[in-house]
Amino acid sequence: MTALRVGLVGTGGVAAFHARSVLAHPQAELVAVTDASRERAVDFAAAWGAPRVVDSLDELLRDSALDVLLICTPPGAHRAQAVAAFAAGVHVVVEKPPAASLEELDDMRAAASAAGRRLAVVFQQRTGTAAAQVRELLRSGALGRPLVAVCQTLWYREPEYYDVPWRGSWSTEGGGTTLGHGIHQIDLLAHLLGDWASVEGRLWRLDRDIETEDASTATVLFANGVLASIITSAVSPRQVSSLRIDTEKATITVEHVYGHGHDDWSVTPAPGVGEDEAAGWALTGPEERSDHEPLLRDVFDALLTGADLPPTADEPARSIEIVAAIYASASADGAVITPSDLATHPTHRRSFESPVLDLRTRAAALS
């Protein structure tokens, strides 16, 4: 394969990051787009190199001779769109969350395997030279054994954000701020620390008039013994996305909102660590910030050469499993959920819908 013909479905806000990434790649071309609103698709095409506008995904897959489909639609549509693309022999790059349930993700992965095509998920927080270097420091053992972690996604979404019909509903968004927002930092945490061993979680509704949660809390034990505390919020005016990982020899931190570079990360040595050893942990070399562009670049390069997907785009299930386990735990009053529990869970493989503790109602009842 010498060039990739790329199509895109869903021309909302996130699609611009995808289009920019395609235009930046020397062996990829955005050839056609579609959206439920033709007017929006026409405007999008005019802004991004004038690809052909078609009226449906069926037409896009039938008439465009695509190599790759970029899926930028709400989560509830991902399964059907991905399965259709695989049936047409097309690779898929899908925005997070990759599906509205684990069963739907299972279907997408099975369809990819049956068609001999690739499924890549956009978790762009994994990218960037700083994240890659920190991951290597942790994996090499240079920082000693990781012990404790804190993962915070404290964002702000005004009430009007949920006026979009599909937001805030279990049936169309699949979940609340944990699935829609917190999954970014949860994914970066898991990218750095590896597989999970158990989850205990709670869902909260603090202020927004929605079905789903606007905040969640969880404790995650990773398979390597790291104990992590996770909090996600959509009602926090001073926004921050942050990770802290304490190891035997150092504390790693990153603090940003929607993207990180070298200046957002720090590695603080523990007392007693020598200056020469700590100097070896410095983030070095040319800087590349986290973004869609390096992720899609590396995915496109892998598709062009037939190589495995890069670490920035593999393991599509790990972070969504952690999120699913938070929902499953919350539905069982905070019970411990393990990977084996989740693998055969009677409800939370097919839906994340869970009871949410409304603190306004609860506080009134307790007063």
Q: pLDDT (tens digit, 9 = 90+) per residue, 121-167?
A: 999 999 999 999 999 999 999 999 999 999 999 999 999 999 998 89
pLDDT over threshold 70, residue 366: no
User: What confidence tens digit (pLDDT) does each residue in 266-297 have?
Assistant: 999 999 999 999 999 999 999 999 999 999 99
CB 234 within 8 A of CB 156: yes
CB 231 within 8 A of CB 259: no
Please give the mean pLDDT across all residues of the chain. Answer: 96
Homologous superfamily in CATH for domain 132-271+319-343: Dihydrodipicolinate Reductase; domain 2 (3.30.360.10)
Full DSSP string of 324-336: HHHHHHHHTTT--
Beta bridge partners, 229, equal 150, 219
Structure tokens of 259? Answer: 């993207």
Is the preceding peptide bond at 97 cis, omega within 30 degrees of 0? yes
CB 40 within 8 A of CB 10: no
Give the per-residue pLDDT at 107.
98
pLDDT over threshold 70, residue 367: no
CATH level 3 topology of 4-122: Rossmann fold (3.40.50)
Angle, in degrees to the nearest 10, between helices 15-24 and 292-305: 50
User: What confidence tens digit (pLDDT) does each residue in 161-220 have?
Assistant: 999 988 999 988 889 999 999 999 999 999 999 999 999 999 999 999 999 999 999 999
Measured CA to CA, the distance from residue 222 to residue 190 in angstroms comes to 8
pLDDT over threshold 80, residue 364: no
Residue spans per domain, the chain: 4-122, 132-271+319-343
CB 199 within 8 A of CB 329: yes
What's the predicted TM-score (pTM) here?
Answer: 0.94
Give the per-residue pLDDT at 133.
98
Mean pLDDT of 236-247: 98
Element (H, E) at 210: none
Measured CA to CA, the distance from residue 222 to residue 340 in angstroms comes to 14
Give the per-residue pLDDT at 2.
84
- Would you give the distance in Å from CA 179 to the centre of its chain? 8
Give the per-residue pLDDT at 359.
84
User: What confidence tens digit (pLDDT) does each residue in 30-80 have?
Assistant: 999 999 999 999 999 999 999 999 999 999 999 999 999 999 999 889 999
Structure tokens of 30? Answer: 């955005």
Give the per-residue pLDDT at 361.
76
Where would I find the H helices in 141-228?
170-173, 177, 183-193
CB 235 within 8 A of CB 162: no
Give the per-residue pLDDT at 365.
61
In angstroms, what is the C-alpha Rg of the chain?
21
